[in-house]
Chains A and B, each alone.
Chain A
Amino acid sequence: MAKRIRIGNNPAVGDSGIFISKPGRDIDDTTTNYLLDSRFRTLMLHANGQVGMTSTAAVTGKTIWYAEVNFPDLGYRPVFFGNIKYDSANPSNIPVNSSGVPISLCGTYGQVGSGGQIFIESGVWLVNNTTLRARAVMNVGGSAGSMTLTWMVFKNRFGE
């Protein structure tokens, strides 16, 4: 059985702390990640949710979905994750390109459905310490599709 727990000095990393290796991996094996490593922070969820995005044809020849989410102020810029899900005309409900590769969040080019509709932009970003915004832009106007934003904000501070 592999040695998996070390509390105190850990010669394998040259530091002290609490360390637990992954199942089946020895604590001296530093060629992969530890399961628990007190030298680093663990993700701590602050707020999360899902919201349907509003669509508009404010720009001729494009359909734009957008959403804004507010969350309690931590007093600093937090780490976040956001994902836009296309709810219509796609069996997997995930925007994919012609090779089936998800483009949600990445926001590069991809074709959705059989109508040749192309997402030219999509993304989720932090406006300030309390506001998250998401937007997806399709290259045709009047699309009847719907989009959902799934978001998570963590207590972890961005910039460390």
Chain B
Amino acid sequence: MVARAIIQPARIIVSRPGVPVSPSMADTDKIFDSDWNWSGILLEAKTATDPGGGDWNVMFNRDYGYAPCVVARMLAASSVATPWSGPSVQSPMQQVGNGQVCPIIYSNRIWFPRNLSTGGTMNYGTIEYEVYGVD
């Protein structure tokens, strides 16, 4: 068995199974290093469906106190059925003609504006999104 953790007042490092821990070891052999800025915290991963009406706010599980990183994809009908009839996965940041919409991330929600910049409205359909603990 190899030593896999260093716990010091100023630094904590945990190595991968079977790899001896060392302050100078490569990042690829680490599970955790307190000198990193992000450790892969996944706050939530969910689906939401646009209810229509006014601007759409998708609320997070809690107010995180900072605007987290969000990856969102919109499942829309595809323009082609071949080779699959599956969805077209699109960004909720859309351009329709010359009109645009751009969702904004707050500490407690994603705000999807309803109105396109040049008039008309946007229907987001179903959104899959992941929220990561990094700002």
**Residues A4 and B66 in contact, CB atoms below 8 Å apart:** no
Interface of B is mostly: loop
**Residues A42 and B39 in contact, CB atoms below 8 Å apart:** yes
**Residues B42 and A41 in contact, CB atoms below 8 Å apart:** yes
Could you say which of B17-25, B51-59, B72-80, B117-125 contacts chain A? B72-80
Count of chain A residues with a beta carbon within 8 Å of a chain B beta carbon: 48
Give chain B's interface residue range (CB within 8 Å of chain A).
35 or more
Residues of B close to A127: CB separation below 8 A:
86
CB contacts under 8 Å to A, within B40-93, are 40-47, 64-66, 68, 71, 73, 75, 78-80, 82-84, 86-91, 93
Please report B residues at the A interface, Cβ cutoff 8 Å.
10, 12, 32, 34-47, 64-66, 68, 71, 73, 75, 78-80, 82-84, 86-91, 93-95, 128, 130, 133-135
Please report A residues at the B interface, Cβ cutoff 8 Å.
1, 4-5, 20, 22-23, 30-37, 40-43, 56, 58-59, 62, 64, 66, 79, 81, 103, 105-109, 120-125, 127, 133, 135, 137, 154, 156-160
